[in-house]
Amino acid sequence: MIPCARVASRQAQRSAPRCVPLVSSSRAASTWANVPQGPPDAILGITEAFKADSFPEKINLGVGAYRDDKGKPYVLPSVRAAEKKVIESNLDKEYAGITGVPAFTKAAAQLAYGSDSPAIKEDRISITQSISGTGALRIGGAFLQKFYPSGKTIYIPTPSWANHNAVFKDSGLEVQKYRYYNKDTIGLDFDGMVADITAAPEGSIILLHACAHNPTGIDPTEAQWKQISDAVKAGKHYPFFDMAYQGFASGDTNKDAIPVRMFIQEGHALCLSQSFAKNMGLYGERAGAFSIVCDSAEERKRVDSQIKILVRPLYSNPPVHGARIAAEILNNPTLKEQWLGEVKGMADRIISMRALLKKNLEELGSKRDWSHITSQVRTQYGCHGSGPGY
């Protein structure tokens, strides 16, 4: 027989309230439980995989960053010298103004538009320092979305830098595309490009790579740029230039700025994104600029005021160190001359590497025509045209 006390104990246990662990229900109720796993960035994801790979002869063909003969990041001697001067100046760490370091933005405008530019002399250029080229594009997209009086559609080339689409969509613009690359000729689809620009609704925004088109490495000729200008003007479109590689395409900063300066001479109003990541190797310093060519100094003041209002809630004001380095180089005649020589040296080295790649492919017995490797603009970008049968 079971003792009465034990029966009573079991009955008490059955009737007593039970404590249920809340761990599982707590986890299920997580605020972020429904956040899906996003895909890795198409470009930076390759870099992450590259760093994780232990193969000693690996090569990263993803991010367009200049490397030395050992595949290591290269810091320009002029940048080292400028940074030394900046540090020795013992400057404070106070906030920059909303539009950045004035010595930098003034020099950046002169580099892009030319020191003899009428727009600069007439004080018609509104310019702000940005978080490199990406930040400049984002500011530009936001400004156009808010104030551009025509359609809020921007046309970008096919293909274009992978981040263009996301930056402009997040700015609130609709993104459409125009033809640019001809896979059959491994060259510029110039006729298709002009036809699509011509067919775009009147007053569209047209994004143009000023030089060293990313990712094809194919740029229009100066004569073709004139025809592109005519098509943009005929459609009453608004040109938005992205100039992330000034100096890198040809080794000459003035030559690479010809499309921008030509469009201004042709009477276009335009805006411009600049980056100093590539031509100064200031990748991690995030030094860039966004500028708008205005009709008058009075209009420039109004545009300035609205750009400040846009920037303030985005990041308040930009970092100073990279801008100070760039300003030191651009405003110091000795350092600027040294830097221009280094930019040409990098461009020339890329040209020689392209020629060597073409030569080795031919010597290995390939029967394909590899002339596009040396005929494309001589940056680290290019469409090699390889695939089955190559």
Residue numbers annotated as active site: 161, 242, 278
Q: How large is the angle between the packed helices 102-113 and 258-265, nearest 10 degrees? A: 80
- Which residues partner with 291 through β-bridges? 127, 272
Retrieve residue 333's tokens.
């005649």
CB atoms under 10 Å from CB of 40, counted, come to 11
- Cα–Cα distance measured from residue 143 to residue 153, given in angstroms and rounded to the nearest whole number: 13
Contact 290, 259 (CB under 8 A): no
Question: Token pair 């098509």 is at which residue?
Answer: 231
d(CA 184, CA 182): 5
Residue 156: name the closest of 113, 196, 191 by CA.
Answer: 196
With contact defined as beta carbons under 8 Å apart, do 265 and 230 qualify? no
The Cα 228–Cα 224 span in angstroms is 6
Q: Nearest to residue 368, comparing CAs of 186, 190, 224, 239?
A: 186
Residues 6+ apart with CB under 8 A from 213: 157, 180, 219, 377, 381
